[in-house]
Copies of this chain bind each other. A is one copy, B any other.
Amino acid sequence: MMRSGFQRVARLAHHRALLRTHLLPRLHQASAFGSSTDSLVARFCPEKTDLKDYALPNSSWCPDMLSLYQEFLEKTKSGGWIKIPSFKSNREHIQGLKLPLGLVTDSDKQDWRIFTRCILLEGQGYEYVIFFHPSEKKSVCLFQPGPYLEGPPGFAHGGSLAAMMDETFSKTAYLAGEGLFTLSLNIRFKNLIPVGSLAVLDIQVEKIEDQKLYMSCIAQSRDKQTVYAKSSGVFLQLQLEEEPPQQQ
C-alpha cells in the first residue's frame, strides 16, 4: 500500500514538475504539515471579503433547502459548524497561498470559474452550500441541481452529482488536513435526484494515513428515506505554503 502510494505520488510529481518541490514523502503523521484546522479555516473562510459568496439563499432555493440551511446556520453559532463561502473561482479561495510549482497562478483575462460555479444563473445550474465541522472532520453539503444539470429527463445527471461529491470532498479534505488532489473517487448510484429538489450530502473523514485522506459520503433526501448515492474519495495531502509577508 505504502509503495503504491509513493508510486502514485511519483507519477503526480512527474507531470510538468507540478508537485516537485512540495512533496514531503517522509511525513506520515495525521497532523498534516503543521497547519491546524483552525488556521486553515481562518485562511479559507475570511470573515470580511469583497468577493461574492454564491453559497447564499436565493429565490430558486426550494423550501427544504432553505429551512435546512437555516438550521445549519443556527448551528454555526454554537454547534461547532462553519459555513464555507463559495467564490466564483478557486483562485479566489487560495489567495495568499503559494501553490506547487507548475500550477498557474497569474490571473489573465480568462473568466476562470470553479466547475461547480460554472453557471451563474440562479437556480439553473448548481445551487449548493457546504458546512464543515472542524473537530469532527465532517461536512454537510446541501445540493439542489437545476435544469442545466439534467441527465435522464427531469433528473440530475450522474456526473453532476459525481462532481458535487468531488468538490465537497475537496473542500473537506483541504480544511481537515490539507488534502489537495483527488486520487480516487468511487460512487455507487442508487436513485435519481429530481431536478429542483434537495439532496443532502454527508461527508466524513474516515482516516488520514500516509499523506492521504480517506473520506466517505452518502447523498440522500432530507428525510433520509431515499439514498441517492454512496461514495468514497481519497485525497493527497500537499502543503500550500503561505507567501512571505510583503515588505512595506
Contact = CB atoms under 8 A, between A and B. Distances in A.
Contacts of A194: 16
A118 B116 contact: no
A140 to B, nearest CB: 18
Contacts of A155: 103-104
B113 A147 contact: yes
B118 A11 contact: no
Contacts of A89: 150
Copies of this chain assembled into the complex? 2
A120 B17 CA distance: 33
A36 B60 CA distance: 43
Interface stretch (A23-31, A37-45, A78-86, A161-169): A161-169
Highest count of chain B CB atoms <10 Å: which of A12, A153, A159? A159
A58 interface: no
Interface residues of A, number: 61
A207 B181 CA distance: 31
Interface string A4-24: 000010011001101000000
A16 to B, nearest CB: 8
Interface in A166-207: 166-167, 170, 180-192, 194
A114 interface: yes
A159 B151 contact: no
6 tightest CB-CB pairs across the interface, nearest first? A159-B163, A104-B154, A115-B157, A159-B166, A118-B148, A15-B191
Most chain B CB neighbours (cut-off 10 Å) among A89, A162, A184:
A162
A149 interface: yes
Contacts of A156: 115
